[in-house]
Structure 1
Amino acid sequence: MRPSPIPSRTAIAGHPIHPMLIHFPVAALLGLVASDIGFLMTGDTFWARASLWLAGVGSLCGWGAGLIGLIDLVSVAQIRRLIAAWSHALVAVMGLSVVTLNWLLRLDDMQSWVNPWGLSLSIFTAVLVSLAGILGGQLVYEHGVGVDTELDQ
């Protein structure tokens, strides 16, 4: 059975903005784990600097994408009724809080925080981002959030 579509309030020409924006922070936050491991394996400060930037970009872009998603969550009654929507939001905010802490810890000394706290926080963030992605997929594929099921003729 196909879910009836739940339109997004934050859309451009019918295309929801939140799913357009989340790819950048997700890529940055998953790349953060790799750059932390790169620094630990090589000791090259390039990887520590890359981690600092990836944490910052992931954090800032993630909060921006989250604000767009929040508009849909609070302004569309059909979305507000979904447990998966609230779970997605909660897990995403937890992940963004962890990566923001991770980024702020690295600002003064980008190298000393990588082992063990930086890498641990990066891995924890990657797990939370993955869980938020699963819940976001559930919103789209099971509940039809932001999906236009009508074909233009």
Structure 2
Amino acid sequence: MKREMLLHELHPSVVHMPLALLPTAAVADLIVVTTGDRAWEKVGRRLWVAGAASAVFAGVAGLAASQEVRMDAPRARKMTVVHGVGNALITLGALGLMAWRMGRPPTIVTTALGLAACASALVTAALGGKMVYEQGIGINPMPRDTPQGSLKQPLLLSREAPMALLKDAGRGAAWLLSQARAPR
């Protein structure tokens, strides 16, 4: 059965890149600070760039996906907010570490921060899995009377997809900020 990828399916398809690249960058830095092997400095620097860039891309896709699915259940919305805010903080940290590493070798502190961010990413990744497998967020097809599911389905490679991605990512960022600021 041939089926083309839908826009909201981009996030789960690309999120594995930062989940692999960022820990690998942190381990490369760990090798430098524990062994003094300077050959790993360049490797780590390049991995931080690739990992941070892929985290930004996965984040934009995730923000867009948050606008392509239905999450009427409060628990599903709360999980999505924690997942999004957590990943936004991890991405900002990765960008900061990348900027630091562009001109400097890793330190014990930056390496520890990188490893801590990777541990945090495991938590937010597990939460993302629970959102899909326990809450059914983004699963197709979903009847209209269920509290979670997919709302609209532009094909990923359609003419509408690039604008929908940018528009929904912006709406997703605004929604995430409003939810994070809302009193609990």
Q: TM (normalized to structure 1)?
A: 0.79
CA distance in 2 between partners of 1:80 and 1:47 (Å): 47
Q: 1:17 to 1:117 in 2, by over 3 A?
A: same
User: Is structure 2 residue 125 aligned with structure 1 residue 133?
Assistant: yes
Matches within 5 A, 1:33-48: 33-48=26-41
Whichever residue aligns with residue 68 of structure 1, its letter is A
Matches within 5 A, 1:4-153: 12=5, 16-78=9-71, 82-109=77-104, 111=105, 114-148=106-140
Q: Secondary structure at the match of 1:135?
A: helix
Q: 1:38 to 1:79 in 2, by over 3 A?
A: farther
Contact 1:29 1:126 in 2 (8 A): yes
What are the superposed Cα offsets for residues 40-65 of structure 1, whole Å, 9 maximum, x if unpaired? 23322221111111111111111111
1:148 Cα deviation from its structure 2 partner: 3.1
Whichever residue aligns with residue 57 of structure 1, its letter is A
Contact 1:92 1:129 in 2 (8 A): yes
Q: Which runs of 5+ in 1 are unaligned?
A: 1-10
Q: Which runs of 5+ in 2 are unaligned?
A: 143-184
What RMSD in Å do the two structures reach over aligned CA positions?
A: 2.3
CA distance in 2 between partners of 1:108 and 1:84 (Å): 37
CA distance in 1 between partners of 2:28 and 2:59 (Å): 24
Aligned length: 137
Whichever residue aligns with residue 94 of structure 1, its letter is L
Q: TM (normalized to structure 2)?
A: 0.67
Moved over 6 A (4+): none
CA distance in 1 between partners of 2:73 and 2:52 (Å): 25
* Segment drifting more, 22-31 vs 68-77: 68-77
CA distance in 2 between partners of 1:52 and 1:79 (Å): 42
What are the superposed Cα offsets for residues 108-145 of structure 1, whole Å, 9 maximum, x if unpaired? 12x2xx22222022112112211111110111111112
1:75 Cα deviation from its structure 2 partner: 4.5
* Segment drifting more, 131-140 vs 35-44: 35-44
What are the superposed Cα offsets for residues 17-56 of structure 1, whole Å, 9 maximum, x if unpaired? 1011011111011112221121123322221111111111
1:77 Cα deviation from its structure 2 partner: 3.9
